Amino acid sequence: MNREDFFKNSPKPFIPKKLPLSDEEKNKIIDIDIYKLLNNVNYYFGLYIGLLCSVNNPDLLVSPLLNKETILSSQLEGTHATLEDILNYNIGMEIEGKKDEVKEVFNYSRALNFAQKNMGKIDENNNKLPLSSRLIKQMHKILLNNVRGQSKSPGEYKQMQNYIGTSNSITFTPLPPELTEEYMTNLENYIHTEEIDIFIQCAIMHAQFEMIHPFQDGNGRIGRLLIPLLLYYKNKIPVPALYMSSFFNANKDEYIKLLNQISSNNDWNSWIKFFLDGVIYSSKESALKATRLNQLYIEFKNVINKGLKSSHGIELLDLIFENPVINASLVTKSLNINRQTANSLLNKLKALNILESFSNNSRRITFYCSKLIKELD
C-alpha cells in the first residue's frame, strides 16, 4: 500500500463533544462504583498530601520522584534513556548514543518546572499565568526544544492532520487542525469551571486533550503533565507531584483501549473508573516512596549534623536529593564555594557512608548516593 492509500483508508477525524458534559450525561456516567472509587481516591491521596505537607520542603521529596517520572513518561513515547543516563547528564557527563533521548527526558522536567514557576493558582491575584492554552504552548516549546520533534512546530498547534497508530495501521484520527484552537479554548474554559470532583475533572480533561491531540508531536507527555498541574492549580496539592506514568506504563494497552472507547462508544464511565484506579495506585506508590525518601533524608541529616562540621552540610544534602549523582563542579556552582572546599565536603560525606565515588577516563571523580538511587528504581 502506498502512502496516499495508507492515509486515505485511515479512520475519519474524530470530533468530540465540547465540555463540560451535560448533567444528563454525567448522571448516566457517574454511578455508585465511581463514588466508591472516589472515597478511596480521597483517602489515599489525602495520605500522600498529608505526608508532603508534614515536611518543611516538599520539593526535596518530589525532586527524586520527578526524576523517575520523566523516565517513565518518555518511555511511553519510545524513548529509552535510563535513570543513570539522566543523572549523569545533569552533571555534564557525555551520554554516548542517547544524547537526543536524554535531552527529551530532561526537557520534560524543564517544562513542568517552568509551569510551576510561572503559573498562578486559581484563587491567587497576581501577574502569573493561569493554566491556559498560552501556558500549555510554552510548555510544549520547552518540551521539543533542540530534540527530535523540534521540526514539528514547537509551541504551536498543529497545521496538518495528525494520526495515532503504528507504521502498519492507523487506529485513531484526532481532531482536524482547523478546529484545534476552538477546542483548546473550550478545554481551557472547562479547566476553570467547577466539576463534581477534581479527579473526575482530571480524567475528563486528560482524555479530551488526547482526543484533540493539538500538537504535531509531544501530546502524550503534555497530557500527562496537565494532571498534576490541574491539581496544583486548583490548590489540591502543595506541589505538582501526582505522577501517573508508572500506572499508564503498566497498563498501556488498557489505557489506549479505554480512550478509544470514548470516541467509539461514548464510554466515559470505564475511562473514569480506570483513571481513578490510577490515582489510587499513584497515590499509594508516591506516598510509599516519599516516606522512604523522608526517612533517608532524616537519617542522612542526623549523620551530617554529628559528623560533618560545616555550615554547608544541609545545603549539600538538599543538593544530593536533587542530584543523586554529583561532582565538585556542581557543588561549587550551587553552593557558591571554592572547588577545594567542595571536594573536601564530598569526600567527608563519602567517609560518612552517604556517598560513593568512581573516576571516569578524564580522572574526574564523580560521587553518587546509591541508597537514594535505589529508592528510585
> In this structure, is residue 177 part of a structural domain?
yes
Residue 7 burial (CB count, 10 A): 13
Task: pLDDT band for 361, please (50, 70, 90 cuts).
Answer: low
- Whether 221 maps to a domain, the answer reads yes
- Mean pLDDT for the chain? 92
265 plus 342 within the same structural domain: no
Q: Which of 292, 365, 338, 363 is nearest to 355 (CA)?
A: 365
Q: How confident is the model at residue 215 (pLDDT cuts 50, 70, 90)?
A: very high
16 and 158, same domain (yes or no): yes
* Pairing between β-strand 170-172 and β-strand 365-368 as defined by DSSP bridges: unpaired
Is pLDDT of 298 > 60? Answer: yes
pLDDT exceeds cutoff 60 at 2: no
Domain count, the chain: 2
CA dist 287 to 49, 189, 232, 246, Å?
A: 8, 32, 17, 14
Q: Is the pTM of this model over 0.85?
A: yes
Q: What is the structure's pLDDT at 280?
A: 98
What is the C-alpha separation between 62 and 297, in angstroms, rounded? 13
Grid look-up 536533587 returns 322
If asked whether residues 63 and 206 sit together in one domain, one would say yes
Average confidence (pLDDT) over 184-203: 97
Measured distance CA(64)–CA(188) in Å, rounded: 30
Reported as a pLDDT band with limits 50, 70 and 90, residue 149 is low
The answer on pLDDT for 362 being more than 60 is no
Average pLDDT over residues 127-149: 93
**Residue 7 banded pLDDT, cuts 50, 70, 90:** low
Q: What is the pLDDT of residue 46?
A: 97
> How high is the pLDDT of residue 211?
97
Residue 252 has pLDDT above 90, yes or no: yes
Position 254 in a domain: yes
* End-to-end Cα spacing for the chain: 43
The answer on 103 and 197 residing in a single domain is yes
Evaluate if residue 175 carries a pLDDT over 50. Answer: yes
178 and 322 both lie in a single domain: no
* Cβ 88 vs Cβ 95: under 8 Å: yes
Please tell me whether residues 238 and 329 are part of one structural domain.
Answer: no
Q: What percent of the chain has pLDDT over 70?
A: 95
Which range among 88-102, 189-203, 288-302, 307-321 shows the weakest confidence by mean pLDDT?
A: 88-102
Q: What is the largest CA-CA distance in the chain?
A: 72
Predicted pLDDT of residue 190: 98
44-49 mean pLDDT: 97
**Confidence check: pLDDT of 345 > 70:** yes
Residues 260 and 337 both lie in one domain: no
Q: Are 105 and 86 in contact (CB under 8 A)?
A: yes
At residue 167 the predicted structure's pLDDT band, cuts being 50, 70 and 90, is low
Range of the domain at 46: 3-287
Give the position of cell 542517547.
98
- Contact assessment for residue 119 and residue 130, using Cβ atoms and an 8 Å cutoff: yes
Whether 159 and 246 map to the same domain: the answer is yes
Q: Look at residue 1 in the predicted model and tell me its pLDDT.
A: 47
Looking at residue 100, its pLDDT comes to 82
Residue 295 and residue 184: Cα distance in Å, rounded? 43
Quick check: is 185 in a domain? yes
Asked if the structure places residue 96 within a domain, the reply is yes
Residue type for 200, please? I
The answer to whether residue 34 is domain-embedded is yes
135 and 98 fall within a common domain: yes
Q: Average pLDDT of 19-23?
A: 97
Percentage above 90 pLDDT, the chain: 77
Which residues lie across from 170 on neighbouring strands? 165
**What is the DSSP secondary-structure string of 135-191?**
HHHHHHHHHTTTSGGGGS-TTS--SS---EE-SS-EEE----GGGHHHHHHHHHHHH
Q: How far is residue 209's CA from residue 180's CA, in Å, rounded to a whole number?
A: 10
Alpha-carbon span 306 to 314, nearest angstrom: 12
- Tell me whether residue 344 is exposed, middle or buried, using C-beta atoms within 10 angstroms of its C-beta: 0 to 12, 13 to 18, 19 or more: middle
Say which residues have a Cβ less than 8 Å from residue 71's Cβ, sequence separation at least 6. Answer: 81, 82, 83, 86, 105
Q: Which neighbouring-strand residues pair with 326? A: 367
Cell of 75: 518511555
3-state class of 11 per DSSP?
coil
Predicted local confidence at residue 95, as pLDDT? 75
pLDDT at residue 352, rounded to an integer: 97
Q: Give the whole-angstrom CA distance, residue 270 versus residue 251.
A: 14
Please check whether residue 157 lies inside any domain of the structure: yes
Tell me: pLDDT of 140 over 90: yes
Q: Is residue 301 in a domain?
A: no
Whole-number Å distance between alpha carbons of 366 and 355: 10
